[in-house]
Amino acid sequence: MDNKYIQEITLDDPYTVPYRGIYAVCDAKNEYAEIIEHSNCYSGAAWSLYHYAKAPLVLKSRSTGNMIRYLMKTGTSKLELKASVAAAGIESVVVQGDEVEITYAGLGGGGVGATRCRAFADGVLRYTISESGGGKCARGTIVVPRRDRILIGVDDTDSKDIGATWTLTHNIAKKLDCQEAVYLSHSLVQLFPVPEKTQNCMSTVLEFGCVDKNAKSRLIETFKRALLKYSASGQTGLVVLSDFYAKGIYGYSNRCRTERVSKTDALHCAEENGVEVLLDGNGVIGAIAALPWFGRPEESIIPGTDIKPLSMQKVKNDI
């Protein structure tokens, strides 16, 4: 047996499991925010997801791997905490300039998560926390950078002999991941199998959260250079959309999953919906179609599945 298993272990902080990161992506008017929590302990995050989903400000919540996402109205609310039933939640999300203040509350172990575990996440600018654990009701407020959502759609970087778009784009994104431009998600999108496909007819969308326009510009320019350097295709499509969600593109995307769509239609969709076309090879058709599927990798791989537009006025599971 390895000696480490018979030695006494020492834990510097036995009752804290810091999150890897907590990010706040906001819409242009700061009326809505998506709080995205990157966990180091999925079971603890799953417990939070169950309880936090009941909070008044939460419109929709879901898990994507170890990333838990809460779509929320900004503002403040009153939590009615009840042990075992509604033991923790998000009390407020307040946007102050280029920062977002998030206040959590919880009972017992939920209070530890609401305070120390979130306060010590990477990227937290400041925090205030109360005592937590045992039978206490605890509260904590963290301050994180306000972020805009940047969606990058890519298709056709491979050839019959080499490559896969999903691997290339993920590897580039991992290299570019930083506090100014956080890499949030990667989805493979199944398209209608046209004759021009390399093999499986998949496109890719990547999601970043950028703190300002300079971070976005650096991200996009570096991503484009890397794509041109490593792409094995002369028909690569690369598009960018800066928006809270890809409104206006749902119908086009659904068409691309069930029928052949022309490049003319693709470019028209881009022009009508504020999509920046940076590389306009035939892959632009699938690159644009991928945009609405950010953060939905389990659904985007299913052939023919429709994606429905968000209605930000609806609440809870009606969205």
Q: What is the pLDDT of residues 122-158, one digit of tens each?
A: 889 999 987 765 666 878 999 999 999 999 999 988 8
pLDDT for 316 equals 42
Most confidently predicted of 127-141, 206-220, 243-257, 297-311? 206-220
CA angle 317, 86, 53 (to 5 degrees): 25
Tokens 């598009």 — which residue? 239
Mean pLDDT computed over 49-63? 93
242 has pLDDT over 50: yes
In order of 51, 68, 80, 215, 245, the CA distances from 143 in angstroms are: 22, 18, 23, 19, 24
pLDDT for 297 equals 86
The separation between CA 123 and the C-alpha centre of its own chain, rounded to angstroms, equals: 16
165 has pLDDT over 60: yes
Q: What are phi and psi of 19, to 5 degrees?
A: -70, 150
Q: Which residues constitute the domain of residue 233?
A: 156-300
Mean pLDDT of the chain: 88
Q: Is residue 286 part of a domain?
A: yes
310 has pLDDT over 70: no
pLDDT in tens, 102-113: 999 888 767 777
Q: Is residue 171 part of a domain?
A: yes
Q: In this structure, what token pair is assigned to residue 19?
A: 């999150």
Q: Is residue 307 part of a domain?
A: no
Is the separation of the CB atoms in 113 and 105 below 8 Å? no
pTM of the entire structure?
0.91
Local structure of 73: helix, strand or coil: strand
For residues 27 and 135, membership in a common domain is answered with yes
Element spanning 70, H or E: strand 67-73
Q: Is residue 266 part of a domain?
A: yes
Of 97, 124, 146, which marks where a domain is finished?
146
- Dihedral (C-alpha) 75, 80, 81, 82: value to the nearest 10 degrees? -150
202 versus 33: which is more confidently predicted? 33
Is the separation of the CB atoms in 275 and 318 below 8 Å? no
pLDDT for 35 equals 97
197 has pLDDT over 60: no
247 has pLDDT over 50: yes
Strands 137-155 and 21-26: parallel
What per-residue string of b and e applies to 207-242 under the rule 16 or more CB within 10 Å gives b?
A: bbbbbeeebbeebbeebbebbeeebbbebbbbbbbb
For residues 166 and 293, membership in a common domain is answered with yes
pLDDT for 228 equals 95
Of 90, 120, 146, which marks where a domain is finished?
146
For residues 183 and 226, membership in a common domain is answered with yes
Q: Is residue 28 part of a domain?
A: yes
Mean pLDDT computed over 251-274? 93
Of 127, 146, 165, which marks where a domain is finished?
146
Structural domain total, the chain: 2
Q: What are phi and psi of 82, to 5 degrees?
A: -135, 130
By CB atoms closer than 10 A (0-12, 13-18, 19+), residue 76 is exposed
For residues 114 and 86, membership in a common domain is answered with yes
For residues 262 and 227, membership in a common domain is answered with yes
42 has pLDDT over 70: yes
Q: Is residue 239 part of a domain?
A: yes
pLDDT for 153 equals 97
CA neighbours within 13 Å on the CB side: how many for 307? 33
Q: Is residue 32 part of a domain?
A: yes
For residues 125 and 179, membership in a common domain is answered with no
Is the separation of the CB atoms in 253 and 265 below 8 Å? no
**Where are the alpha helices (H) located in the chain, listed in sequence order?**
42-52, 109-112, 118-119, 165-176, 213-230, 250-256, 263-272, 284-290, 297-300
**What is the rounded CA–CA span in Å between residue 76 and residue 69?**
18
Local structure of 47: helix, strand or coil: helix
Where residue 319 falls among pLDDT bands split at 50, 70, 90? Answer: very low
Q: Is residue 315 part of a domain?
A: no
**What is the rounded CA–CA span in Å between residue 319 and residue 314?**
6
For residues 108 and 29, membership in a common domain is answered with yes
76 versus 315: which is more confidently predicted? 76
Where residue 318 falls among pLDDT bands split at 50, 70, 90? Answer: very low
314 has pLDDT over 50: no
Q: In this structure, what token pair is assigned to residue 310?
A: 């968000």
pLDDT for 6 equals 63
pLDDT for 243 equals 95
